[in-house]
Copies of this chain bind each other. A is one copy, B any other.
């Protein structure tokens, strides 16, 4: 773990990434108890743990810094918070769950009757045993979140209310991990790190991003991959504000969230709607025959909102399982460790890897012998593939690559037009390039 200005030096682990589902689940378990918010030590502790898996460059941005249309807020930290009844028993206790306190609560220390306390209590009447997740980042307030059934059981009377928090000038913290590629063109992979004890939204996304970075770091991918671990909205805005000169390098991006529930995968397109990342995810999901959904862009959800704002308009989509606000457990205590599964996270990770493999190989070739078909047999290109069980497909793939390599079509176009798998098409392009018949 390094801080701004230094480059990561920790060597990337050499061990094979086995059973990533289990490892990701372990990471989620470790992160679960921490009380994250858009600033503060919970974020730092989270990044320290992630740094054990992939080396992070951590950035600390002072309160008050102007970032685009926003200003970095004061830093919030909390040590303890509870409501105690007249016997001194804690009926609501932050130590039991970080969800119990309204995020960014100002400090309070008072005794008051239940009636006076009620406006500060947040429940979910429709799910009486669940604790909701609530925040008040930009309007000073304090409050507690609790189960409706807990509230219903509270007798009238005086309660001691205490929130031992501080809201003071400090920093906003975010981190990056860069996997250098063969070209400076970047793919940004972003996940938010500002939610407290919620497993699917956001810990599964953090875990998948972490293991995706670790997998890519074992090779030299074509693109440079930049992983961003930042608080939602203000974190992405801060990164964008501080990297405006770099934005031109960002060719593609993916926001990861809700990556661990048992629902099927959902890809939400970039604002452009036909960005290369959109086409890659559509192709990978369709050809994988996984149940999935492709959604049009909407200016709501996660940090694709910022990356796709019209001034930037980056080709950044969002991959989730069940999407934003699409499940009852969303932003409640029921989004817990049981709500996510190792298998689901492994599946999300696998699709990301497939998608980036396609993205990295999706180049446009030019047929160097475009008048009539070149004589493949003379060059051993039928033989070269004759022994393979998919010889016929490989031959068709060569003809398709030759046909469409006019500088206008990439290999993904070839795969889509031909109905062949991207791998078959890419292998054909490699064989043709080796024979000097096409050039990237």
Interface residue ranges, A against B (CB under 8 Å): 68-70, 138-139, 233, 236-237, 240-241, 244, 271, 296, 298-300, 305-306, 308-313, 367, 369-375, 377-378, 396, 399-400, 402-406, 417-418
B70 touches A370 (CB 8 A): no
Q: Which residue of B lies closest to A237 (CB)?
A: B372
28 example contacts (A-B, Cβ-Cβ < 8 A) are as follows A68-B369, A68-B371, A69-B369, A69-B372, A69-B373, A69-B374, A138-B375, A138-B377, A139-B377, A240-B371, A240-B372, A271-B403, A298-B400, A299-B373, A299-B400, A299-B403, A300-B396, A300-B399, A306-B372, A306-B373, A309-B372, A309-B373, A310-B370, A310-B403, A310-B405, A311-B370, A311-B372, A312-B372
Task: Tell me which of A70, A139, A306, A371 has the highest count of chain B C-beta atoms within 10 A of its own C-beta.
Answer: A371
Task: Tell me which of A240, A300, A367 has the highest count of chain B C-beta atoms within 10 A of its own C-beta.
Answer: A300
The interface residues of chain B lying within 8 Å CB-to-CB of A236 are 372
B299 touches A371 (CB 8 A): no
Task: Tell me which of A241, A313, A373, A402 has the highest count of chain B C-beta atoms within 10 A of its own C-beta.
Answer: A373
Does more than half of chain A's interface fall in helix, strand or loop, or is it mixed? loop
Shortest beta-carbon distance, A396 to chain B, in Å? 6
The interface residues of chain B lying within 8 Å CB-to-CB of A308 are 403
* A402 CA to B367 CA, complexed, in Å: 43
Instruction: Tell which of B299, B306, B371, B377 touches A312, judged by Cβ atoms closer than 8 Å.
Output: B371
* A313 CA to B237 CA, complexed, in Å: 47
A367 touches B299 (CB 8 A): no
A310 touches B404 (CB 8 A): yes
A370 touches B309 (CB 8 A): yes
B138 touches A402 (CB 8 A): no
Q: Which residue of B lies closest to A236 (CB)?
A: B372
Q: Which residue of B lies closest to A244 (CB)?
A: B371
Shortest beta-carbon distance, A141 to chain B, in Å? 13
Q: Which 10 A-B pairs have the closest CB atoms?
A: A311-B370, A311-B371, A299-B403, A299-B399, A68-B372, A69-B374, A310-B406, A310-B370, A237-B372, A306-B372
Q: Which residue of B lies closest to A233 (CB)?
A: B373
The interface residues of chain B lying within 8 Å CB-to-CB of A400 are 298-299
* A367 CA to B69 CA, complexed, in Å: 13
Shortest beta-carbon distance, A247 to chain B, in Å? 9
* A378 CA to B137 CA, complexed, in Å: 11
Task: Tell me which of A310, A311, A405 has the highest count of chain B C-beta atoms within 10 A of its own C-beta.
Answer: A310
Residues A69 and B240 in contact in the complex (CB < 8 Å), given A402-B299, A405-B310: no
The interface residues of chain B lying within 8 Å CB-to-CB of A374 are 69
B309 touches A70 (CB 8 A): no
* A370 CA to B309 CA, complexed, in Å: 6
The interface residues of chain B lying within 8 Å CB-to-CB of A138 are 375, 377-378
